[in-house]
Amino acid sequence: MPVRMFLSSGDLMADRRFDFARDLQLKGDLVAAADLLLQAIERAPGFASAWFTLGEVRQQLGERDAAISAFRKAREADPDDRHGARLRLMRLGAEPLAEMPQAYVRALFDQYAPKFESALVDDLGYRGPALLFKAVLAARAAVRKPAFFRRAVDLGCGTGLAAAAFARNVDHFTGIDLSPRMIEQARATSLYAELQLDDLLSGLRRKPDAGAELVLAADAMVYVADLVPVLAEAARVLVPGGLFAFTTETHDGEGVVLGRGLRYAHGADHVRASVAAAGLDLSLLEDRSARNEDHTPVPGLVVVATKS
Ligand SMILES: C[S@@+](CC[C@H](N)C(=O)[O-])C[C@H]1O[C@@H](n2cnc3c(N)ncnc32)[C@H](O)[C@@H]1O
């Protein structure tokens, strides 16, 4: 992601040292960067951005234990964890896999919002909404039903790319997203009848039983570790015959892992078991990549689950 969280220490000298340290880190002078970060931290011991960057530098230097303790300090300094130090601790095997801090997701996408579409679509060849559209058409054709929906819910709606792909097939779209800036962009499209600034699971919980014919999550379940609560809530919200269509990243192993890109990857068998545990029927599960990274398609799945 081309964005980086910075929380000022409130001390000008400490902030300056941090800036120099970042330059050194980017130039690869890691020992000097660590030294300057420690100087910044000496002036401002609660400087979360400096602790977090020190964690990264220590990790780059191969100093695992020192990296872990710096990431822990970053989280102590900012308990909401806007830098996502917890994710780094999970990747280092210092903490068990858990859900992402909401403040991290919100901060990440608030910073990302103005350049989201150009970065994702142009730079990473993002194709999640088109994949979902094709999958929903196929799932409906298989049961000889038209792919038109009165009410749909778009989880992690972002700037509205999924609503744009389904615009001619849905009468009333509700979008749910944690990031106020992404919601602003979604509002500007006029594609949504309703927009909820909320976590996708709590947003779904506010929806009435059997009130939607379609639930979508394009590139949003990659920010959810445990799929079952979201699938189960979608099952409650859907009418009989309604569909939940989503993309996710995947891996060859079992269960769920946090990938290098700090998104969750769900194994195909794990997805099948989660769909069944939520009481939904699996209508379609295909290997399809929604985006590239380093010019290579990221392994992914497109899934359509049906409420019977
Ligand atoms: C990669 S973007 C995809 C946006 C959109 N669905 C699309 O296809 O362009 C992921 C979106 O999911 C949102 N998101 C991630 N985790 C979320 C959560 N737990 N609750 C609500 N929104 C979430 C982010 O704020 C972001 O807007």
Q: From the centroid of its chain, how far is CA 5?
A: 16
Give the span between the Cα atoms of 39 and 61, in whole angstroms: 18
The mean pLDDT value for 203-231 works out to: 98
Best probe residue, ligand 1, of 109, 112, 214 (max atoms within 8 Å of C-beta): 109
Instruction: Please tell me the residue having the least CA distance from ligand 1 atom 23.
Output: 156
| pLDDT score, position 252 | 96
| Cβ(165) – ligand 1 distance below 6 Å | no
Give the span between the Cα atoms of 37 and 18, in whole angstroms: 6
The Å distance, Cα 154 to ligand 1 centre, comes to 9
Band of the pLDDT at 3, cuts 50, 70, 90? low
Query: What integer best gives the mean pLDDT of the chain?
Result: 96
Dihedral sign, Cα of residue 48, residue 108, residue 291, residue 148: positive
The mean pLDDT value for 12-39 works out to: 97
Give the span between the Cα atoms of 124 and 107, in whole angstroms: 21
| Cβ(156) – ligand 1 distance below 6 Å | yes
Band of the pLDDT at 94, cuts 50, 70, 90? very high
Mind listing the pLDDT tens digit for each residue in 124-168?
899 999 999 999 999 999 999 999 999 999 999 999 999 999 999
The Å distance, Cα 62 to ligand 1 centre, comes to 33
The mean pLDDT value for 16-42 works out to: 97
| pLDDT score, position 225 | 98
Alpha helices in the chain (DSSP H): 12-27, 30-43, 48-60, 64-77, 85-91, 102-112, 116-117, 124, 128-142, 161-165, 180-189, 200-205, 227-237, 268-277
Best probe residue, ligand 1, of 100, 104, 133, 179 (max atoms within 8 Å of C-beta): 179
| pLDDT score, position 120 | 85
Mind listing the pLDDT tens digit for each residue in 278-296?
999 999 999 999 999 988 9
| Cβ(218) – ligand 1 distance below 6 Å | yes
| Cβ(249) – ligand 1 distance below 6 Å | no
| Cβ(199) – ligand 1 distance below 6 Å | yes
The mean pLDDT value for 198-215 works out to: 98
| Cβ(161) – ligand 1 distance below 6 Å | yes
The Å distance, Cα 298 to ligand 1 centre, comes to 17
The Å distance, Cα 250 to ligand 1 centre, comes to 17
For the CA of 117, the nearest atom of ligand 1: 9
Residues with Cβ < 8 Å from 252, sequence gap 6 or more?
Answer: 267
Give the span between the Cα atoms of 257 and 43, in whole angstroms: 38
The mean pLDDT value for 177-192 works out to: 97
| pLDDT score, position 2 | 45
The mean pLDDT value for 222-236 works out to: 98
Q: Is 223 exposed, middle or buried (0-12, 13-18, 19+ CB in 10 A)?
A: buried
Give the pairing type, strands 194-197 and 170-177.
parallel
The Å distance, Cα 54 to ligand 1 centre, comes to 28
- Judged against a pLDDT cut of 70, whether residue 1 lies above it is answered with no
Q: Record the pTM.
A: 0.96
Structure token pair of residue 56 = 């990264």
| pLDDT score, position 117 | 84
Q: What's phi and psi for 116, nearest 5 deg?
A: -55, -50
- Judged against a pLDDT cut of 90, whether residue 233 lies above it is answered with yes
The Å distance, Cα 265 to ligand 1 centre, comes to 15
The mean pLDDT value for 77-98 works out to: 97
Give the span between the Cα atoms of 110 and 125, in whole angstroms: 21
